Every structure is written in structure tokens, then in C-alpha cells.
Chain A
Amino acid sequence: MKTIRKHGELLALFLFAFAFFIVFKYGPLYGVVIAFKDFKVVDGIWGSPWVGFQHFQDLFQSSDFYRLLKNTLLLNFYQLLFAFPAPIILAILLNEVRSRYFQRFIQTTMYLPHFVSWVIMSGLIIYFLSPTTGIMADIMGWFGKEPIFFMGKKEYFRSIVVGSSILKDLGWGSIIYFAALSGINPEIQESAIIDGANRWQRIIRINVPSIMPTISIMFILSLGGFLSANFEQIINLLNPVTFETGDVIDTYVYRVGLQQFQYSYTAAIGLFKSLVGLVLILGANLTVRKLSKGENGLW
């Protein structure tokens, strides 16, 4: 009681977040039961008949399943491998830039694409990569190379997805690292300079270790969205030729579930995907804790 009175304001603020999670995250969890039912709209969630693991069996036997799982895992893995470090590198590089004005200018222009929706962004990308009118074709022309129709070749699809994510969210993602970098005590830098450390040594020995906790937390958080982060992006870039490498669980769920009313089946796929995501995030947290000897990590 005493603590409640003491931290009243904080608790009141917390209530909003609490309500948000109850209403939008925990409440809808009830609907997950349709993965084990044969859901019909008229019968409602509870009234539809139970079918046990039928949908999961169908899923594992489907010829699409392994292609979807592979595409989803690979795409997200590449995303993590390339798109995750990009903003860190940008922040560290820009941090070294002397001219304040130039630094701010770059930062601001790089935020911009974040505010453009994927529908427009993918239209731009298709246009950039066009073999006849696109800027990429021109650049390749300067080097005497034949233009490639990137959007029409399945082997380029994943690179395009990862590349366009970097292009779009590089600047935005770097904000938090900028903040972390500006929090480093200048005295550490000064004493390092006096000791004769050059720029490169200062980056490796001071900047990177100082922002390591931020990096590991961001890493775990981004794993939380692993497997489900880029539906809008992929659905807008996908075409029949790139299905083989680009069709992921989310686009499949959208196509089959929402457009053909197979809610139960797709709920089963969604549930399975969440399970994979959970295993990954638990694993990542464990790894981070081990590596940092229990200092970092979410819990």
C-alpha cells in the first residue's frame, strides 16, 4: 500500500502500457484456439468443432511448407546478418565526422526513407532496378556491363529485400546508437588521445565496448520481431517469378487465409511460426548472457 502511494505517478503511467498489452496482445491470444478447430464464421470461435492437430499435420505434409520455412528463415537470417549491423556502423562512422553541420545533414536525409510506406518504396525500387529506365542499368552501363532485370530473377530477390531494408531503415535505426555514443564520457577519449591511441584504436577499444549493452539489447529486441518483420515489404516486391525464393510464411498466410477463408489452417501456421520465434529469442538471450557473463540480456 505504501509503495503504491509512493510510486502512484509511475504506476499510473504504467497502466497505459499494461492496458495496451492486455487489449491488443494478450486478449487476442484467445483466438489462437482456432488453430485446433475447424473455424466457421457463423459458429464463432467457441462454437466451431475441435479438430485437434489436423491442421498441423496438413501443414507438415504440404509441399509448400519446407520452401516457406526455408525462405522465411533465410530471409530473416540475412536480414539480421546485414541489416542489423548497418546502422551501428553508420553511427560509429558519423560520430567521427568533425563538421557538426555535415553530420546533422547526413542524419536528417537518412531518416527520410523511414517515413515512406513500403507500397511507395517498392514502387521506387522496381523503378530503380528496371533494366531499361532504371538508374542501376545506367550505373552498370558505365562499367560496360549488360543491364540485369533484377526483379525478374529469383536469385536476386533476397538481396533486394535486404538491400532495400537497409536503404529504408538505416538512418532511423542509427538514432539509438548515436544517443549511446554521445553518452560516452569525453574524459575517456581525451585520456586515450593523450596516451597516443589513434582513431581506429579509440573506436575499437572505447566506442564499441561502450555501446555494447545497447547493441545486445537491440539484438534481442530485433529477434523478437524475427520471422514477422517484413510482410508489407515482401508482398509488395514479390512477383510470380520470385515466388520460389521470396514467398514467406506471412505472405502465404495472407494469400491462403484471408483470401480463401482458411482461417484455422493459417492460424496453425502462425502459431507454429511464433513457436520458432520463441525458441530463437530464448536462445539468443541465453547466448548473450553467457557471452557477457550474465551482465547483459533481457532477463
Chain B
Amino acid sequence: MKLKKLGNAVLPAMLAAGLLAGCGNSGNGGNNAAAPDASASANTKESAAPSPVEITWGIHFQAPGVVENSQVQKWLEEKFNVKIKPVKVTDASIASGEVPDIFMLGDPANVAAYQNQGVLMSLDPNMLKEKMPEYSKDIEKNKALFQTVTIDDKLWAIPMFIDLKPYDLGMLWRKDWLDKVGITKAPETLDEFEKAVYAFAQKDPDGNGKKDTFGLTGTATSTWSSGFYSIFGAYGVEPTMWHEKNGEIMNGSVMPETKEALAKLRQWYADGVIDPEFITDTQDSYRKKLYNNRIGVIEEQIAKGALPDAATVTEMKSLNPNSELVFAKNPKGPGGDGSWDWGVKSNFVVISNKVKDQPEKLDKLFEILKAESSDEETINMTNLGVKGTHWDFTESGATAGATKFLAGFEKAEERDQAGIRLFSLGNITTQAYREKYSNPALNEAIKTYSSAPRQTDALLFSALPSDGKYKNDLTSLMQKYFAQIISGEIPLEDFDKFVAEWKSRGGDELTKEANEMYQAQFKK
């Protein structure tokens, strides 16, 4: 999914980058006009304020584009006496040498790739402790995360952690279909799961007299794994993930349990339970198939499916008012229950190599980092905006708990116009802040439905030295074989052929590296 999205985004993004570069100049002109204003007010506070440091800031990677001189940007500029130049970070912009002073990356693999290109600045762990004491105290219990971005004995990024993940997956069932086929409670075991999806495929749950329904579909085209996460999870594996078994690290793509899961999926496909389009389906399209009475269960993020006002639930209601949904845990199989779990890792803040020789700028960056981690006012401004204008607590008059965005700012793109999200540094916030602003109902749902931390990467998704060389290739090899095995194009026994091919095409080398890394850095 990531791959395709990127593909679709690259050209427009390049175009947009070009346009923005053009606009940038005129935008700066406007900025200069506004600047005296800001510095004037700064001057009233500190009579001899030094001229503001200019920071190029890579906006949040989920934001599609830069909005210049937004409300939040001006607020930050005034508060920290800096000048901010927001830029959109793309691989192409990095390749042309335009590295912002501060930006966020999603994975240790990205950090490793950028580090290898020499664009990042190494960080002193003691400095982090000194400059960001609140953050350091909180991340103490997840300090293994530092290992994931330590390369050549140096730290290259500021990791963030998350323990209650709204994006953990559970199962979202068509309750009305379950009722129709005579199943009273949402399936909890793999056997019950199997019974339900067979009934969906065979007992005409939509009652139109045609055999046009399936139990489930998958996402064979995701960039990181194979889809059917909960089914593999029921056998205790996730393809491409590193698992620890009796002190040894093995890859989920080639474990014997994976073959068992494939045998099950293959049987389901042969019996018409799995939609043949699982090869081309994406998370987007399988939601649509749920809405359109084609399949009866999907893997869904808890935040999008578990609560009555969650996105997928409301969408389903509006498109298909007679339908009813019910959220359930991942099915329990011979290997327990589980699904794809990103673990405690969140994103990573990185600083440009160029900042190394600019101590004044580095100080400013840490001042901002500290504020974004522990200063409620700054966190609210960068993540939520102005209370009463952009957001408020869900319960009127409350001073803590769930928050909601107000009319006109409900979509992230609308908030971007005010600069909300652009300068957010995500989960760098303290535990105390998160507790104050979280939705108790959602937290409860996550605790109820998530299989975490049963199944996550034994190396916390660290990048192995040879990942760049082999990983993508091995992932597409796995996807090709698995899709063909499930759809019955090749016999199940070819799994062994796949294992041999996987090993010889770099898998053995990666396994060796994974074990070395585990022994050196993660063994408990």
C-alpha cells in the first residue's frame, strides 16, 4: 500500500515542490513585512532580544503540503523568538541535499537510510537527559527504543513511544450477517471464525438469493507484509516480522507455523470463502466491500471500528442504514491470538547534520523539543490549535478527557490551513499529558480488543545492516509465493521451495544479522 501511494504521490509531490519553491520567494517577501511585527512584540518582553534564529522545519509527514505563515507558525515564532521556514520532506528533496534542520521519520529503517546518506546529526544521550528531563523520565521504561536508532555506537534520532495504540487491529464483523446465519456471539476462536466466514460465503447472508458474498478478503499488496494478519497471528507468526523462539531469532515468512496458516487460507480460498480479489485489494477497498455487502468481516483499527462514533462504523451506517457492526478480538488459534503489532515504537525526531556547527540553533531546537514534550500550551497549540476556535473537550465544560475538533476544522486538511499538525512532533509528549487528553472509552476499547503486546518484532523494527540490499526483494518474493499458494496456483509443498529461495536470496544473511543484533542489543 505504501509503495503504491508513494508512486501516486511522487509526481504531484515533485510538481508541488516546484510550485512551492516558486511561491517560497514571494512568501518570504510577505514574511519580511510581517516580521517587524513579531520582533517588535518580542522586543517588548526582552529589551535586547537577539535576532531570531532561522529554522527550516520539515512538516509532519502526514501533512500533504506546506502552508506558509500559518497561525501556529506565527505563534511558535513569537514564543521562541525564531523564524520558521516550513518545508515538505520527500526522498527526492533529501536526495537533492535540502535537509531541514528538524523533521520526523516513521521507522528505524528510514533513520538508518538517512544516516547512511550522512544527513543526520548524532545526538548525545546525556544531552537529551539534561535538556528534556520529562521526556527522558517517561521513555526510561522503553529505553530499548534507543537501540533501534543506534548505529555505530551513536544515537541518531530521538525515539518516541506509545503504549496504547489506537491503530492496533481487531476484527470488525457484520452483526446482522452473523444473526442471519444463526451465530449469536462474535467469533472468538479460529474454529468459530471459520464457521462464520463459511456461513457468510454459503448461506446468502444478504438475502438476495445470489451467491455473491465472501467471508473475507486480504491485502496482498501492502508493502510490509502479507495481509491476513489475524489468521497468521492465530498461528503465532507474522510474515516478515522477526520472532524470538527459545533465544533464537527467526523470520515469520519462513517459519513452519506460516505453512500451517497458508494451508488454512488455501482451503478457505478453494471453498470460495476468500474473495479472489485479495491480491489487488487494499485497506480502502476492503472497507468498501464491507459497506457493499460483499464480505462480512475485516481487520480494522480499534479507533476506527470499536466505538459507536468511530469512522468506519459511522460510514457503514450512512451507506447501509440497516446494517449492524460488532467489534471483536482477533481469533484465538493454535498459536494464541495476534495481529500485526507495531509495538511500542512511534515516530522519530531527527536533526540535520548541518546543525552540528550551530550551537545557538541547537539550543533553540531543544528548547522547542522540550516544550513540545512537556509544555501543555505548546503541545495543545501544535496538535489541537486554539481551544474554543479549533477544538474543545467532548464534554462541555470539562478540563480533561476526550477532545473534538470544532466545525470547520474537523478534517486534518482544514486544520493544516491554520498550521495545526504541521509542527506537531507527535508522541514526544509526556505520559501525564496523554493521560489528561485521552478518551477513556477508547483506552478501554484498546485494552479490551488489542492483542498487543503478544506479537511484535523482536528487534522493535530496527534496520539490519543488509536490509537495504535484500528486504524489499524478499518481501515481494514472499507476497508472490503466498498469493499463489493461497489461490491454489501452486501446491502447498512449494512453500519449502520458497523457504530455500528466501534463504539463498539474502534471507540467511539477514537471519544471521538479526541474531547478532538481538544478542548484542535486545536480549533480556
Residues of chain A at the chain B interface (Cβ within 8 Å): 40-44, 63-64, 119, 126, 130-132, 149, 151-152, 232, 235-236, 239-241, 243-244, 254-256, 258-263
Contacts and interface: CB of A to CB of B under 8 A. Distances in A.
B276 A240 contact: no
A132 B212 contact: yes
B384 to A, nearest CB: 33
A131 B8 contact: no
A259 B118 contact: no
Contact of A235 (B7, B97, B473, B480): B7
Interface in B464-499: 468, 472-473, 476, 479-480, 483-484, 487
B277 A42 contact: no
The 8 closest A-B pairs by CB, nearest first: A240-B479, A42-B118, A41-B117, A152-B279, A235-B7, A240-B480, A241-B483, A149-B276
Contacts of B468: 260-262
A151 B280 contact: yes
Contacts of B31: none
Contacts of B279: 149, 151-152, 239-241
Contacts of A119: 8
Contacts of A262: 468
Given A42-B119, A44-B97, A235-B7, A241 B484 contact: yes
Interface in B125-155: none
A126 B280 contact: yes
Contacts of A151: 277, 279-280
B341 interface: no
A132 B8 contact: no
Interface string B206-220: 000000100000001
Contacts of A244: 480
Contacts of B476: 240, 243
Contacts of B113: 260-261
A244 B472 CA distance: 15
B276 A258 contact: no
Interface stretch (B20-28, B75-83, B87-95, B411-419): B87-95
B275 interface: yes
B117 A42 contact: yes
Contacts of B472: 255-256, 259-260
Given A42-B119, A259-B6, 5 more contacts: A132-B212, A152-B487, A244-B480, A258-B91, A261-B117
A23 to B, nearest CB: 13
Interface string B369-394: 00000000000000000000000000
B10 interface: yes
A131 B278 CA distance: 12
A152 B118 contact: no
7 contacts: A41-B117, A151-B279, A239-B221, A254-B10, A256-B472, A258-B91, A260-B113
Nearest to B482: A240
B447 interface: no
B95 A261 contact: yes
B32 interface: no
B220 A259 contact: no
Contacts of A40: 116-118
A239 B280 contact: yes
B267 interface: no
B4 interface: yes
Contacts of A239: 220-221, 279-280, 483
A258 B280 contact: no
A41 B91 contact: no
B240 interface: no
Nearest to B8: A119
Contacts of A254: 7, 10
B418 to A, nearest CB: 29
Given A40-B117, A132-B277, A261-B91, A240 B221 contact: yes
A152 B487 CA distance: 9
Contacts of A232: 7, 11
Contacts of B319: none
A260 B109 CA distance: 9
B3 interface: yes
B283 interface: no
Contacts of A63: 505
Nearest to B467: A260
A132 B212 CA distance: 8
Contacts of A44: 97
Contact of A236 (B7, B94, B99, B118): B7
Contacts of A258: 10, 91-92, 95
B495 to A, nearest CB: 16
Contact of B276 (A132, A236, A260): A132
Most B CB contacts (10 A, CB to CB) among A44, A126, A149, A240 go to A240
Contacts of A126: 280
B10 A132 contact: no
Contact of B3 (A42, A131, A259, A263): A259
Interface in B60-114: 91-92, 94-95, 97, 99, 113
Contacts of A241: 220, 279, 479-480, 483-484
Nearest to B478: A240
A41 B94 CA distance: 7
Contact of A43 (B4, B8, B118, B479): B118
Contacts of A131: 276-277
Nearest to A63: B505
A151 B220 CA distance: 13
